[in-house]
Amino acid sequence: MAFGRCVKGKKRAVIRQYELVERVRSYDPKVDESLLNRAYVYSMKAHGTQLRASGDPYFSHPLEVAGILTDMKLDSATIATALLHDVVEDTDAKVEELAEMFGPKIAELVDGVTKLSRIEMQTEHARHAENFRKFVLAMSNDIRVLLVKLADRLHNMRTLHYIKKPEKRRRIAMETLEIYAPLAERIGIRDIKEELEELSFQQIEPEVWETVNARLGYLRDEAGTLVDEVVEELVDTMRAEKVPAQVSGREKRPYSIWRKMESTNAPFEQISDVMAFRIVVEDLPTCYRALGIVHGKWSMVPGRFKDYISTPKRNGYQSLHTTVIGPKRTRIEIQIRTREMHEIAELGVAAHWQYKQSAEKVDGSRYRWIRALLEILENASTPEEFLEHTKLEMFNDQVFCFTPKGDLISLPKGSTPVDFAYAVHTEIGNHCVGAKVNGRLLPLRHQLHNGDQVDILTSKGQEPSPRWENFIVTGKARSAIRRAVRQNQREEYEGLGKTILERAFEAEDLDFSERALTSSLLKLKRQTIEDVFFDVGQGHLSAYDVILAAFPGLKLKEDHKRLPPVTRDWSGDWAKERNGASAIPISGLTPGMAVHLSDCCHPLPGDRIVGILTQGQGVMVHTIDCEELSDFSEAPERWLDLAWQTQEDTPAFFAGRLKLIVLNEMGALANIASLVAKQGGNISNLKITERDHEFYTMLVDVEVRNVRHLIEILTSLRASRGVNSADRLRE
C-alpha cells in the first residue's frame, strides 16, 4: 500500500461526498452512510469560507485527512472524526454540540484529536509539551485518536511548503520528526512514518536532501534496469524451487540513507545497499525455506541477518532481513515475510482493526508502549519533562532480553538492568539492588545485549538512587527515578525544616504548635504547614521568618539576630549524643537530598560540625574549622548547630580524604590497599599528583565509619615502611 503525495504546485480535486462514501463502502459493506453524510455537510458549513495558507478552502484539509484514512480502510466513526477533527478548534462548534448531533463517542474522539492550541502557557515549547501530554491521555483511551492525528499531520506536512516563514516550517518539521514519525513507527504504519520523515528531512536539511537525491539519481542512471533484473532473478529462483512468492523492489528513501551515513560515519559511496527487495510468501515455514534458497544462491554479508519473526519488534513487525552480494556484485537487502506479516508491516494496528466487525472500543492501553507513556505521564513533574522522557522512550533502536521465566522484554539499545527492572514493573525498579545477567552478577550500569537473561535482585529497604540517572536510557526508568527522588527529597526537606523550626521556637521560649504555624500560613503565602516545613528545609524561608509571621511584633533575642550560633566543645565518643538541645541531629545522610557533606572539608562523624542553610539546596555540612565558613560570617541566620547521630542498624560509610607520600617501589600500591582493607576501610578513589624517582604523592579517598576509624587507618599507614607520610586532607 502507498499513500498518495501532494505534489508541490499542483492541487488535488476535492473529494466529493458520494466519492467518500463509496471509498468506505468498497472495504466496509456496513458503512454508516448517514453518519458520513452528516459529518461531511456539518464540517463544510462550519469551516465556511476559511482558507488555508495554500489558498484552498479549509474544508479540503479534513477531506484529505479522511481520504488518507480510507486508504487505511478504517471504520465510519474514524472517517467521521477526520471530517470533524478541526471544527472545535477552528470554528464556533462545541464538543457538546457534536455529542448531541453525532453521539458521545464521535465527540470524545474529536476532542482527543483537537490540537488544543487555545491553551494559554508561557512558552511555545511548554504549550507543545502540554498539548502532547493531553494527546497521549486521549490516545490511551482510544487508539483511533492517534490514527486521525497522524493523518492530520501527514496532510499538513504535504502542504507545509505553503507556509512562508522558514523558521515556522522548520519548527513543525522538527516536531514531526521527533514525535509523530516515531509514533507512526510504534504502531507499525511504515508508509506514513517514512513519508513524515522524508517531508521533515526536506525542510530541516534541504541542502543534504538535495545532495542525497542527486546521488540517488546518478546511481539510478548508472544501475539502469538493475532493480528489474534482481526482481526477475528472484522470481525465477523461487519458481525453480517451486516456492509461490510475490517479489518487489524499491530504492531506500533519502532520509533512510542519510541516517545510515550518520550512524556509520560513512560517505554515500560506501552505502551500497540502497536497494531493498521484498519476498512475500504464503506461510511461516516457507519464509525460512525462501531464506535458505537466497543464501544458497548468493553470499550473505556477515552480521547483516536479523530474525524479526521469532523476536518481533515492539510494534508487532515481523520479517526476515538479510543482506547478500547479488547480481553484478551489488549488495542488496532482502526482506522475507508472509502475506499477513506484510499487511501488518504496511498498516500496523489498522491491519487487524476490530471496528470492522464490532463497534466496541479498542483499548489503547493494551499496547505496551502506550502503557509506558502513561507511566511516564504519571511520574513527570512538568509537561516539558514528560516530553523529554517520551522522546527517549520512542527514539532508540531495541534489544531483546528475557526474564528468568522466559518472558520477552524489549528495550532501547544501551539499556541496563535498571531499565530492565522498570520495564518489568515500577516497584521492581524502585527496589532493585543488583542483577544477574546470564547467571553472572554484574553491575547495574552494565549494558544489556540481545538474548540476555536478566534476573533482578530486590530489597524492600532499597530506594532509587539519583546516580542511576547517569547510566539509564529509558524514559520510564528516568521518570520513575525522578519521581521517587523528588518524593524522598520532599520528605527529607520537610523533616529538616520541622527540626529547624522546633529548635528555633525552643531557643525563643515559644510553644511549637500546629496552631501557631497555621496562623502564619496567610502571611507566609503557603497552603499547608508541610509547605512551610519544606521551604524552611530548602532555605527559601528562615526559621525566624516563620516565628515573626506566627508572633507579629515579637522581639527576637539579640544573639539570634547578630551572631552565628556557637557550636559546643566536642567531648566523648563520636557516637554519644551532643550536649545542648539546640543541636540538630544529622542521621541517614543521603547525598543530593536535604543534607550535603561539603567537598571543601570532607566532614566525618566525630568532627565538630556546623550547617549552612543554602537556598534551594538544604544544608551544607562543614567542619567547625573549615575556611569556607568565613564567607557566611555576615549571614548568621543561615547557620545551624549540628550534631552527628548514629544508626546502629544501618552503619553508614563516609569519604575521608588522605594525602600520602610513598616510596616509589614495587608493590607500594598493593601494600596501601592491603593496610586500608585490614582496618575495615575501602579505597573509593585515588589520584597521583606528583611523582619522581623516589616518591609518589597521592590523594586517596577512603570510605570510613567516622573520625576514629580514619585515625586507625592513618596510624596503620604511618607505621608502614613504604609510607613516608600520611595526613588527613581538608581542602
pLDDT single digits (tens) 427-460: 999 999 999 998 899 999 999 987 788 999 999 8
Which residue is listed with cell 520528605? 491
Give 238's pLDDT tier (boundaries 50, 70, 90): very high
Q: Of these residues, 33, 56, 90, 232, which one is catalytic?
A: 90
Q: What is the mean pLDDT of residues 106-130?
A: 59
Which residue is listed with cell 533519502? 254
Q: How distant, in Å, are the alpha carbons of 624, 659, 675 from that of 656?
A: 16, 10, 15
Beta strands in 465-552 (DSSP E): none
Which residue is listed with cell 526508568? 477
pLDDT score at 116: 35
H or E segment at 352?
none
Q: What is the mean pLDDT of residues 329-333?
A: 79
Read off the DSSP letter of residue 205.
S
- Displacement of CA 435 from its chain's centroid (Å): 22
How far apart, in whole angstroms, are the C-alpha atoms of residue 713 and residue 680? 9
Q: How does DSSP assign 170-188, residue by residue?
A: HHHHHHIIIIIHHHHHHTT
pLDDT score at 124: 52
- Displacement of CA 606 from its chain's centroid (Å): 42
pLDDT score at 455: 93
Q: Quick check: 358 pLDDT over 70?
A: no
Instruction: Classify 686 as helix, strand or coil.
Output: strand
Nearest to 611 by CA among 590, 640, 584, 653: 640
| Helices (H), ranges, 322-425 | 339-347, 368-379, 383-395, 417-424
pLDDT over 90 percentage in the chain:
20
Q: What is the mean pLDDT of residues 522-546?
A: 85
Half-sphere exposure of residue 280, counting CA atoms within 13 Å on the CB side? Answer: 12
Give 585's pLDDT tier (boundaries 50, 70, 90): low
Q: Quick check: 196 pLDDT over 90?
A: yes
Average pLDDT over the chain reads 78
CB atoms within 10 A of CB 490: 17
Q: How distant, in Å, are the alpha carbons of 36, 606, 677, 688, 712 from that of 716?
A: 88, 19, 11, 20, 6
Q: Quick check: 336 pLDDT over 90?
A: yes
Could you tell me the three cell numbers for 681? Answer: 576501610
Q: What is the mean pLDDT of residues 563-586?
A: 42
| Helices (H), ranges, 176-225 | 181-186, 190-204, 206-223
Could you tell me the three cell numbers for 521? Answer: 500560613
pLDDT over 70 percentage in the chain:
78
The strand pairing partners of 332, in sequence order, are 324
Q: Quick check: 52 pLDDT over 60?
A: yes
Burial 388-411 (b: 16+ CB within 10 A, else e): bbbebbbebeebbbbeeeeeebbb
The strand pairing partners of 453, in sequence order, are 402
Q: Quick check: 264 pLDDT over 80?
A: no
Q: For the chain, what is the radius of gyration of the CA atoms? A: 34
Could you tell me the three cell numbers for 610? Answer: 556546623
Q: Which of 119-123, 417-421, 515-519, 684-688 has the lowest mean pLDDT?
A: 119-123
How far apart, in whole angstroms, are the C-alpha atoms of residue 540 and residue 562? 20
H or E segment at 531?
helix 529-538
pLDDT score at 380: 53
CA torsion sign for 342, 345, 346, 349 is positive
Q: What is the mean pLDDT of residues 19-41?
A: 90
pLDDT score at 131: 56
Question: Catalytic site residue 508?
Answer: no
* Amino acid at position 544, single letter: Y
pLDDT score at 446: 93
pLDDT score at 593: 63
What are the two backbone dihedrals, phi and then psi, of residue 430, each rounded to the nearest 5 degrees? -65, -30
Burial (CB count within 10 angstroms: exposed 0-12, middle 13-18, buried 19+), residue 151:
buried
Give 244's pLDDT tier (boundaries 50, 70, 90): very high
Could you tell me the three cell numbers for 530? Answer: 508541610
CB atoms within 10 A of CB 461: 8
Could you tell me the three cell numbers for 698? Answer: 597521592
How far apart, in whole angstroms, are the C-alpha atoms of residue 724 and residue 398? 54
CB atoms within 10 A of CB 579: 12
Q: Quick check: 362 pLDDT over 70?
A: no
Q: Quick check: 565 pLDDT over 50?
A: no
Q: What is the mean pLDDT of residues 22-50?
A: 89
* Amino acid at position 428, single letter: I
Q: Which of 63-77, 127-141, 555-569 has the lowest mean pLDDT?
A: 555-569
H or E segment at 556?
none
How far apart, in whole angstroms, are the C-alpha atoms of residue 675 and residue 118? 68
Could you tell me the three cell numbers for 77? Answer: 466513526
pLDDT tens readout for residues 370-409: 555 555 555 555 555 555 545 544 444 667 788 888 777 8
How far apart, in whole angstroms, are the C-alpha atoms of residue 574 and residue 663? 34
pLDDT score at 40: 92
Could you tell me the three cell numbers for 69? Answer: 484514512
- Vertex 693, ends 688 and 694: CA angle to 5°? 80
Give 359's pLDDT tier (boundaries 50, 70, 90): very low
The strand pairing partners of 688, in sequence order, are 698
Instruction: Classify 704 as helix, strand or coil.
Output: strand
Contact 139, 114 (CB under 8 A): no
Contacts of 302 (CB under 8 A, 6+ apart): none
How far apart, in whole angstroms, are the C-alpha atoms of residue 674 and residue 571? 32
How far apart, in whole angstroms, are the C-alpha atoms of residue 437 and residue 421? 12
CA torsion sign for 596, 601, 607, 611 is negative
Q: Quick check: 224 pLDDT over 80?
A: no
Read off the DSSP letter of residue 340.
H
Q: Of these residues, 33, 89, 530, 545, which one is catalytic?
A: 89
Question: Catalytic site residue 90?
Answer: yes
Phi-psi region of 618 (alpha: psi -120 to 50; beta: other; left: phi over 0): left
